[in-house]
Amino acid sequence: MLGLYISIAAVLILAILFLVFRIQTFIDIVRGANSRRVGTSNKVNAFLLLAFFVVSTALFIWYSVPASKFFLPKAVSEHGVRTDQMFWITMSILIIAFIGTNIFLFSFVFKYQFKEDRKAYFYPDNHKLEIIWTVIPAIVMAILVYFGWKEWSSITRPAPENAEVVEIMGKQFAWQVRYPGKDKKFGGYNFKLIDATNEMGMNLSDPHTKDDFLPSEIHIPKGQPVLFKIRARDVIHSVFAPHFRLKMDAVPGLPTKFWFTPTKTTQEMRDELGNPKFNYEIACTEVCGRGHFAMRYIIVVEEPEDYETWFAAQKPWSESNLEYILTKVDEKSKGLYPAPPAPAPAPKADTASVAVAPADTVAK
């Protein structure tokens, strides 16, 4: 149906254009415009160019003002507030330059349209002018570079010692998240250890693995530095958390990181936006295949006390996958884990369901 409408519209537009063109040709012939060096169209085009500029600038302002509420979602990280400020300062300079140069461009083409009795001004160069407009952009750029560089250095400097560390692994087409557990140390990992249960390839013989837990949402404390350790196990993905102004590629074989300090809890944002369903989200921004557009994950920002409570309540992954672990580790490492469990817990805890859910969405 849509196609039909489009083709009808296209045919109509073409027909109208053709008629306009035919009529114009007849008018020109009647007026004898063909013999002149420049016809009426020159005036028409000059006027249209100016009109285009005026109308589109008006449209630009008319649309941008109300649309600005959808711009950059509210920044809720410390560096995000600063980069937003930098973004808007840069944008203001650019918009001034944009409108300024376009005023010159479109007013000149209107003002200096062809007139039979005028001769163009032979003006091949002016070194002073050229130096001025080389130096001014150079100075503006230098200032922008300086602030950009300062900000970039501060964002990319090593994370503070006390940062909460979360590991995020991208795979087709979901994120897997791991916390270091009570010992605050991650067990090692190796891609060769990955299978359907041990999706992150954790080294089960590493004593630090024992208390690592794999939740279904990321929880982080407000006001404290958080370090994301990022990796991927199949193709490149990219962790994008728009509200935190956070983006970093997840590269197989090359672990990356990004640290930030969240400044608003999820609840605070819900109250502020009046949207009780609001959630901080992670999306993938490096094309990774069929389900690229559906790699959603949720970040919950909590008050530090709530975070501690949540953290303490998390069950280590090893606890719910004990049977699996005992089939995988050697005799020596078996000692790390409790003896064969009395009540066999269901293998594959929440992680598996997390992994499956987005894949389902894709299939739909």
Partner 1 sequence: MSVAESHLHDHHDDHEHDHHDLPWIKKYVFSEDHKVIAKQYLISGIIWAIIGGGLSLLFRLQLAYPDANFDWLKPLLGGWIQNGKLDPEFYLALVTMHGTIMVFFVLTAGLSGTFSNFLIPLQIGARDMASGFLNMLSYWFFFVSGVIMLCSLFIETGPAGGGWTVYPPLSALPQAISGSGLGMTLWLISMALFIVSTLLGGLNYITTVINLRTNGMSFLRMPLTIWAFFITAIIGLLSFPVLFSAALLLIFDRTFGTSFFLSDIYIAGQALSFEGGSPVLFQHLFWFLGHPEVYIVLLPALGITSEIVATNSRKPIFGYKAMIGSMLAIAFLSFIVWAHHMFISGMNPFLGSIFMFLTLIIAVPSAVKAFNYITTLWRGNIIFTPAMLFSIGLVSFFISGGLTGIVLGNSAADIQLHDTYFVVAHFHIVMGSASFFGMLAGVYHWFPKMFGRMMDEKLGYVHFWITFIGVYMVFFPMHYIGIAGFPRRYYSFTGFDFTQSFTDLTQIITIAAIVTFAAQFIFLFNFFFSIFKGRRATENPWRSNTLEWTTPVEPGHGNWPGAIPTVYRWAYDYSKPGAEDDFIPQNVPFSETKGSNFPHENEQMVAEAESIHGK
Positions in 7-36 near partner 1 (CB under 8 A): 10, 13-14, 17, 20-21, 24-25
Among 8, 61, 91, 356, binds partner 1 (CB under 8 A): 91
CB nearer to partner 1: give 133 or 341.
133
Instruction: Tell me if 105 contacts partner 1 by CB under 8 A.
Output: yes
What own/partner pairs with CB < 8 Å and gap ≥ 24 does 191-199 have? 191/233, 191/252, 194/233, 197/321, 197/324, 197/347, 197/348, 197/352, 198/321, 198/324, 198/328, 199/171, 199/351, 199/352, 199/355
* CB 341, min distance to partner 1, A: 27
Instruction: Tell me if 81 contacts partner 1 by CB under 8 A.
Output: no
CB nearer to partner 1: give 81 or 336.
81
* CB 116, min distance to partner 1, A: 9
CB nearer to partner 1: give 94 or 356.
94
CB nearer to partner 1: give 211 or 286.
286
Q: Binders of partner 1 among 323-352, rule CB under 8 A?
A: none
Token output for 58: 């008006």
Asked if 201 contacts 192 with a C-beta cutoff of 8 angstroms, the reply is yes
Per-residue x/- marks for partner 1, 179-218, CB under 8 A? ------------xx-xxx----x-----------------
* CB 21, min distance to partner 1, A: 5
CB nearer to partner 1: give 83 or 224.
83
Among 174, 292, 318, 333, binds partner 1 (CB under 8 A): 292
Q: Rounded to an integer, what distance in angstroms lies between the CA atom of residue 276 and that of residue 295?
A: 22
Q: Binders of partner 1 among 108-147, rule CB under 8 A?
A: 108-109, 112-115, 118-126, 129-130, 133-134, 137-138, 141, 144-145
Tally Cβ neighbours within 10 Å of residue 301: 26
Token output for 203: 């080294």
Instruction: Name the pairing type of β-strands 237-241 and 246-250.
Output: antiparallel
Asked if 341 contacts 321 with a C-beta cutoff of 8 angstroms, the reply is no
Instruction: Tell me if 148 contacts partner 1 by CB under 8 A.
Output: yes
Sheet holding 218-221, edge to edge: 218-221, 297-302, 280-284, 237-241, 246-250
CB nearer to partner 1: give 99 or 309.
99
* CB 310, min distance to partner 1, A: 22
Instruction: Name the pairing type of β-strands 256-260 and 174-178.
Output: unpaired
Options 212-220, 252-260, 263-271, 302-310: segment touching partner 1 (CB under 8 A)? 252-260
CB nearer to partner 1: give 46 or 163.
46
**Residues near 332 by beta carbon (within 8 Å), at least 6 away in sequence:** 205
CB nearer to partner 1: give 52 or 54.
52
Alpha-carbon distance values, 329 to 203, 241, 284, 315, 325 (Å): 9, 36, 34, 20, 6
* CB 9, min distance to partner 1, A: 8
CA-based angle 105:106:110, to the nearest 5?
120
Per-residue x/- marks for partner 1, 220-249, CB under 8 A? -------------xxxx-x-x-xx-xxxxx
CA atoms within 13 A on the CB side of 244: 32
Under DSSP, is residue 349 helix (H, G, I), strand (E, B) or coil?
Answer: coil
